[in-house]
Structures are given as C-alpha cells and as structure tokens.
Amino acid sequence: MKKTETSTGMKVLLNVLLIIYAVFALFPLVWMVLLSFKSDAQMYNTMFVFSPTLDNYRQVLFKTDYPRYMRDSLIVSGLAVVVSVVVGVPAAYALARYNFKKKEDIAFQILSFKFAPEILVVLPLFIIFQKLHLYDTYLGLIWVYQLISMPLLIWVVRGYFEDISVEIEHAAQVDGYSWWQIFFKNLVPLIRPGLVSAALLAFIFAWNEFTFPLLLAGSKVQPITVAITKFLGTDTAHYGQLAVAAVISALPAIIFALVIQKHLVRGLSFGAVKG
C-alpha cells in the first residue's frame, strides 16, 4: 500500500514538472498567437486582456507579398524533398545492398553533411553560387537544401532496406519479375513507413532553414523564414504583423508534425533498431 502512495506522489510530482516544462516550452508560441491579434496601439500596454483585431492578418495576407514568400518556401522545401527521395532512395538501396570499396566511409561522409555548421560552408558556397549563377534561384536553394534533407533520408531508408532479406528480391526474380517491378511492388511497400516519416521530417527541416536562404538568395527567391525579418523595419517594428507571419509559417510544420506524430517515432526507430 505504501508503495502505491509514494508512486501516486511521484506521479503528481512528475506531472507538475511536465506541466511546468510545457508552459515554459509553449508560452512563446501562445504569446506569439496573442500578439498576432493585438493592434499596434495595444501592443505594449496589454497582457492577456485586449480587444482582438484581425487587422494584422489582413495587412500581412493582402497588403504584402506574404503569399509569394509562402509559395517560395513551399517550392524550395517541397522540391528539395522530392529530389532527396528520387536520389536518396536509390543511394540508400546501394549502400544497403552492394559491397564496394569505402562503402562505410561514403555513408558516413553523407551523414557528416548534417554535422557541419552551415555558416562554415556558406561563404565559399556564396562565391561558387555567384560564379555558377545559382545565386538567388530556386535551383540553387533546392540544391543546397540537399545537405539538410538527404542525409537523414538516406540513413533511415538504408536501415529499412537492410532489414529486408535479400532473398525476398531473389524470390521475386525467380517468380519472373524485373528489377523495377520488384522495387516498386515489393520493396517500396516495405520501406514506406520509414520513407514517409523521413521525408516529412526532411520537409520540416528544409522549411525551417534560415542560414542558407538568408545568404544564398536575394530578392527573387525568398522563403518565409527570411521574409519574416522584413517586418522588422529599421525605424518601426510591426510586432503584430511579425507575429502573424510567424504563426502562419509555423502552421505547415505543426500540421505535418501532428499528422505523422504516430508514425514518426515508429518510422524512424523501426528500421534503425535491429531486432
């Protein structure tokens, strides 16, 4: 009996701690949402009680280029993930199935792209992009985003391929299927959970990317992360509009995270953990 009492006490304590952490983590988001409904006049002199207005939203969505930035973000992040999938899945297959010299070195090299601080490579990239006329283009950003989205995808999908016994492919060959048929009919369904979660996670990473678009894109291509800073003028700061821009730009990431939440943990850990 005593044991149950203490464990009940522990439960309460744990929950309190979790609640404290949740408040700590979520308050900035709540504050941002609140700000987005405040008018400039009420910005500094109200806390939770104010007369909400949709002016900021109207302003951002209809009076600025906000939809264009949103579109740019979608194009760059979306296509970056598409390229990652098209290139990364075959790469993962090769790393899982074939034996070639320096295989592990190559695999680790790919992963290490993710370790390097972006600011470290961005300066040489800037110069190279200028020379190649990739500066401020969709192609340039999609290309450089591969550093962010590809390593994760390759490593997760590789784990899935390694878990599929090679005899399954052999069996399908003997059954009379061609390699492409085997790939799409037998392998893709088996890697799908990992592929979907890795791709969505890669999308979120790409969406949140700031350093590369800040320095490698200018006025023609502007993802939302960079565009938001525009609302901070040199003389005036429209915090309300800034908040609106941030809230809307966070939506896709939040929606995706909620949708895949269930698959995310399973999808990412299933292939990696050998059982």
Question: Would you tell me which residues interact with other proteins (CB under 8 A)?
Answer: 165, 167-168, 170-178, 181, 186, 189-190
- Is 186 or 211 the residue whose CB approaches other proteins more closely? 186
- The span from the CA of 168 to the CA of 172, in Å, is 6
Residue 135's Cβ-side half-sphere holds a number of Cα atoms within 13 Å equal to 17
Q: How far is the CB of 194 from other proteins (least distance, A)?
A: 14
Q: How far is the CB of 189 from other proteins (least distance, A)?
A: 5
Q: How far is the CB of 164 from other proteins (least distance, A)?
A: 8
Q: How far is the CB of 186 from other proteins (least distance, A)?
A: 6
- Is 48 or 180 the residue whose CB approaches other proteins more closely? 180
- Is 75 or 190 the residue whose CB approaches other proteins more closely? 190
- Is 32 or 190 the residue whose CB approaches other proteins more closely? 190
Q: How far is the CB of 177 from other proteins (least distance, A)?
A: 5
- Is 151 or 267 the residue whose CB approaches other proteins more closely? 267
